[in-house]
Amino acid sequence: MNTEFLTAEAVELLKLLVATPRTSRSEEAAATLFADFMAQRGFAPQREANNVWCTAEGYSAERPTLLLNAHLDTVRAVSAWTRDPLLPSLEGDRLYGLGTNDDGASLVALTQAFRVLAGRPQSYNLILLASAEEEVSGRDGIERALTRLPRIDVALVGEPTGMQPAIAEKGLMVLDVTAHGRAGHAAREEGINAIYRAMDDIAWFRSFRFPDASALLGPVKMSVTVIQAGTQHNVVPDECRFTVDVRSNECYSNEELYRQICSHVGSDVHARSFRLNSSRIDPSHPLVRSALALGPAPDGQERRPFGSPTLSDQALMPWPSMKMGPGNSARSHTADEFICISEIHAAIEDYIRLLDGLCFEKN
C-alpha cells in the first residue's frame, strides 16, 4: 500500500464520515461505519458505547503500549455555512464538509498509519481508538473506553496542528458563580443589589493573575462568559449568576485553582468538574524527539514543540501524550470547514515515519 493509495482510501472514508451525522452523543452510525471499515480490512474492532478501537496483533503485557487517538464526533454546524455541511464537496485540493478538519482528517490519517504499522514488527503494542463525545468532554467518550483498554504508556492524539507537535495543552474548568443580595423595590432605598455584589467579583476575575506562568502555555486564563440576573425593571435583584471559563496551565491542578478562587471572591462558587486538567509530555520523550527529527512541517515551517490553548481528549489521559495532526485549528467549528487532500497525504507519511521503529519505555 503506497501513500497515494492510502490517501485515496482515507479520503473516501472521510467522505462517508462527513455524510454521516455524528454530533456529540449521536455518533452511533459513525461508530458502526468506522468499525465496519476496520473489520473489512482484517482487524477485530471492539466497541464501548460509541467508542471504537483496534489492537494490532501480537499484544504483550511485557511491552510498552502506544495509543493512537482521534475523535469521531463533531460540533453542530453553524448557520453561516454556504453549502450543505453533510455533503462532502471536493474542489481542487480541498474537501469541504463538517468535521473534515476537526477531526476527520486526523482520524483517517491515523487509521491508515495504524494499518501500515500493524503489519510491521514494532517494539511496542499499538492501539487505535476512535473516541466519542470529545467536543463535549462527555463521560461516555474516551473516559468510558479507557476502562476497557490495557495500560497505556504514551499517546499520540490527532488534532489539527499543522503537524506541529503540541507537547502541552491547557485544561478547562467551568465555574457557576452566584452572588446573593436581598430583593427590594427599585424606587426606594431598600434591598441589596446582587448585581453590584457580583460586579466586585467579576472585576476580580478580570484582573487577578495567578503567579505561576508556563513557558509553553502562559498564565492561567479566566473569562466571565455568561451572566444572568433580575426579574423585572423595578425589583432589586436578590441573585446574580455568572459563568467563568478557566483555562489552566500545568502549574496548577483545577482543584488548586478552585480553592484559591473561593478564597478571593464573596460569591458562591461551584465547579462543574475538576476532570479536565492541563496535560504535558517531557520534551525529551522519544515521541517528541522523533517528531522533531521528521524535519520541516508540511507547510515548510520548522517543527517546534508548542503549547496548545484548545482542549482535547488529552485532558482525560493520565499518561504522557502529544498532540499532532493535519489541518489548521483556526478552521475548526467554522462555516465551510475544509481539509486539503495534500494535508492528509503528508500526515499519513509523517505518522508512519514518526512511529515506525520508535522505542520507548513502560511507565
For 304-319, the pLDDT digits (tens) are: 999 999 999 999 999 9
Residues of the chain above pLDDT 70, percent: 100
Q: What's residue 46's pLDDT? A: 98
Residue 143 has pLDDT above 80, yes or no: yes
Question: How many degrees, rounded to 5, is the angle at CA 138 between CA 51 and CA 67?
Answer: 45
Question: Cβ neighbours of residue 338 under 8 Å, at least 6 residues apart?
Answer: 94, 95, 96, 97, 100, 101, 331
Q: Does the pLDDT of residue 137 top 80, yes or no?
A: yes
Would you state the pLDDT for residue 42?
A: 97
Tens digits of residue pLDDT in 12-61:
999 999 999 999 999 999 999 999 999 999 999 999 999 999 999 999 99
Q: What is the pLDDT of residues 326-355, one digit of tens each?
A: 999 999 999 999 999 999 999 999 999 999
pLDDT grade, residue 363 (50/70/90)? confident
Backbone angles phi and psi of 285, in degrees to 5: -60, 145
At residue 229 the predicted structure's pLDDT band, cuts being 50, 70 and 90, is: very high
Average pLDDT over residues 203-225: 97
Q: For the packed helices 105-118 and 28-40, what is the interaxial angle rounded to 10 degrees?
A: 30
Mean pLDDT of 76-90: 97
pLDDT of residue 313: 96
Q: pLDDT at residue 1 above 90?
A: no
Q: What value does the mean pLDDT of the chain take?
A: 97
Over range 85-93, report the average pLDDT: 98
Single pTM value for the model: 0.93
**What average pLDDT score do residues 240-260 get?**
97
Asked if residue 307 lies in contact with residue 214, where contact means CB atoms within 8 angstroms, the answer is yes
Residue 110 confidence (pLDDT) above 80: yes
φ, ψ dihedrals at 347, nearest 5°: -65, -45
